[in-house]
């Protein structure tokens, strides 16, 4: 009682300004204590500094270390659900994936995805409105039918033409190396596969090829961050990298993101490469809009939006698939035994051979998907339920409004499911006769815990095209023998883990000795 009286006496002697400043100074302390001990998520383990402020989450998102940091804390706290911000959690339990992404159509996307709009327009990926997304997804879904894709991969279709040109360019590079044009003749396979990917996607979907492979010209070399002469880099690359880089801000509230991105973009536009790249992409889009009627150019979808949707597709075509393809080629070169086994399987096959009938090729592809980690961070969703009671995940209750997500990085590199997780080992995906009694169960966990294309109703629409492209290109490359005698110029692939992964310095080089 005496303590309370003394406190009241002290307060009464304070001036109004002093009292106001004291209250303001106490507010952060009270808020931190509330978030630590009284918040609806206070029962979920996590580092205290992450529980009281979102600053930690924004910092690691900007740095591209988000998924690695979460993996560390999941291990430290030995918890399948980790609190990584005042109102956000990360999940590492494969049994929870169905609840978050599949059941009842999955939890809806949170407002973060509005930051992925292109030129102010919602895209199939960025939209959080199911009706908006479904209209556009329904319009383009027939384009990704397996039978239609396979036709383009045969009979001199757009896919087959681009793959053959890609193989021919690599063979030309190898021939120049073997003829002694420089002791270290290097090729950036990330750049070359980006050119392949953008040409296949534009040629297949738009019936108009961007021309990335045509930019790979021996007479147009320049130095980019290295003393080694390189072919001219894909003109769309600065455009692609700009989209990849701004995802570092994607967790910001949309109104703050708009301001930050506006400032960042003005600074970025001082770079000549980006200005030229945007001009090239814009020129291609102008020609495309003038010459063709795209699948989205129909009632309910304006031409301005169609233009933005097509730019979003071009970004995906020059980025994710190229990352998977270059990752596979990198590991095939590093592991001659894998290359030899794959060559034995594809020898004698023809362009009409059903790719899915080649089990080791499929296994190489799945292992490449696992390690490429094209989208390594959490695919965030917001907890909403009709009864407003929230959901239960892995023994933890998540109230409505909680942001929840699972990061493919944590699942794809889980050593309990994938022993020696950084090793490229296609045999993981094969049913071998020598399999032990627990191998079938482990294989079921691998199938459940890998989701390179996402899960549920928001799964990637272009997965069939990406799958066919990588399978057919890998088969053609191995059949050609062009990788024999090659070696990688670095020991391992180093990634930056933004929402869309990026290989450090955006190059992945191989070489042949003269």
Question: Residues within the annotated binding site for heme?
Answer: 460
Q: Tell me whether strands 403-406 and 88-91 are parallel, antiparallel or unpaired.
A: parallel
Nearest of 246, 285, 291, 252 to residue 269 by alpha carbon: 246
Would you give the distance in Å from CA 422 to the centre of its chain? 18
* Number of other CB atoms surrounding residue 345 within 10 Å: 16
449 phi/psi in degrees, rounded to 5: -100, 10
H-assigned helices in 113-234: 130-140, 146-153, 158-178, 189-206
d(CA 421, CA 408): 13
Would you give the distance in Å from CA 509 to the centre of its chain? 21
Q: Tally the residues of the chain.
A: 514
Q: Residue 314 in 3-state DSSP? A: helix
Would you give the distance in Å from CA 184 to the centre of its chain? 32
Helices (H) and strands (E) counted in the chain, each on its own, are: 19, 13
Bind-site residues: 460
382 phi/psi in degrees, rounded to 5: -115, 135
Which residues, in sequence order, are CB contacts of 127 under 8 Å at separation 6+?
109, 113, 133, 136
User: Residue 352 has which token pair?
Assistant: 């009409």
Q: 158-178 and 189-206 helices cross at what angle (nearest 10)?
A: 160
400 phi/psi in degrees, rounded to 5: -55, 145
DSSP state of 215: G
H-assigned helices in 335-358: 336-346
Q: Residue 464 in 3-state DSSP? A: helix
d(CA 223, CA 230): 6
Q: Hey, CA dihedral for 142, 146, 151, 156, is it positive or negative?
A: positive
For every residue of 21-56, DSSP letters joined together read HHHHHHHHHHHHHHHHHTSTTTTS---HHHHH-SHH
Confirm if 327 and 368 have CB atoms less than 8 A apart: yes
> Exposed, middle or buried, 66 (CB in 10 Å: 0-12/13-18/19+)?
buried
Rg (CA), the chain: 26
Q: Tell me whether strands 184-188 and 509-513 are parallel, antiparallel or unpaired.
A: antiparallel
């Amino acid at each position: 009682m005496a303590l309370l009286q003394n406190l009241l006496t002290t307060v009464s002697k304070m001036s109004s300004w002093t009292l106001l400043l004291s209250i303001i100074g106490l507010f952060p302390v009270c808020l931190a204590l509330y978030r630590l001990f009284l918040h609806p998520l206070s029962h979920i383990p996590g580092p205290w500094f992450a529980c009281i402020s979102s600053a930690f989450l924004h910092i690691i998102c900007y740095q591209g270390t988000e998924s690695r940091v979460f993996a560390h804390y999941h291990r430290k706290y030995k918890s399948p659900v980790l609190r990584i911000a005042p109102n956000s959690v990360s999940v590492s339990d494969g049994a929870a994936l169905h609840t978050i992404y599949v059941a009842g159509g999955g939890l809806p996307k949170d407002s973060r995805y509005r930051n992925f709009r292109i030129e102010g327009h919602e895209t199939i990926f960025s939209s959080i409105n199911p009706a908006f997304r479904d209209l556009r997804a329904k319009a383009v879904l027939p384009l990704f039918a397996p039978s239609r894709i396979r036709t383009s991969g045969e009979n001199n279709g757009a896919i087959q033409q681009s793959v053959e040109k890609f193989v021919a360019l690599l063979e030309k590079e190898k021939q120049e190396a073997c003829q002694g044009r420089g002791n270290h003749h290097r090729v950036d396979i990330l750049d070359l596969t980006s050119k392949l990917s953008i040409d296949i996607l534009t040629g297949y979907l738009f019936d108009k090829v961007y021309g990335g492979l045509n930019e790979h010209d021996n007479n147009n070399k320049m130095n980019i961050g290295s003393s080694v002469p390189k072919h001219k880099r894909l003109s769309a690359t600065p455009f692609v990298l700009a989209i990849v880089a701004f995802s570092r801000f994607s967790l910001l509230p949309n109104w703050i993101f708009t301001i930050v991105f506006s400032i960042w973009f003005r600074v970025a536009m001082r770079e000549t490469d980006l200005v030229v790249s945007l001009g090239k992409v814009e020129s291609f889009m102008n020609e495309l809009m003038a010459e063709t009627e795209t699948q989205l150019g129909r009632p309910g979808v304006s031409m301005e939006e169609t233009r933005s949707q097509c730019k979003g597709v071009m970004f995906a075509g020059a980025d994710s698939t190229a990352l998977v393809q270059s990752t596979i080629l990198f590991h095939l070169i590093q592991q001659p035994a894998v290359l030899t086994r794959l060559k034995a399987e594809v020898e004698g096959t023809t362009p009409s051979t059903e790719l899915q009938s080649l089990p080791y090729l499929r296994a190489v592809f799945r292992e490449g998907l696992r390690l490429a980690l094209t989208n390594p961070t959490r695919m965030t969703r917001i907890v909403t339920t009709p009864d407003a009671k929230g959901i239960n995940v892995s023994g933890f209750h998540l109230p409505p409004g909680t942001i929840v997500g699972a990061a493919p990085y944590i699942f794809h590199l889980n050593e309990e499911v994938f022993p020696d997780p950084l090793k490229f080992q296609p045999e993981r995906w094969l049913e071998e006769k020598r399999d032990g009694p627990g191998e079938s169960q482990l294989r079921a966990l691998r199938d459940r815990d890998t989701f390179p294309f996402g899960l549920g109703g928001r799964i990637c629409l272009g997965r069939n095209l990406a799958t066919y492209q990588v399978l057919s290109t890998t088969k053609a490359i191995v059949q050609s023998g062009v990788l024999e005698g090659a070696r990688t110029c670095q020991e391992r692939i180093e990634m930056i883990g933004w929402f869309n992964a990026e290989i450090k310095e955006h190059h992945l080089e191989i070489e042949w000795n003269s």
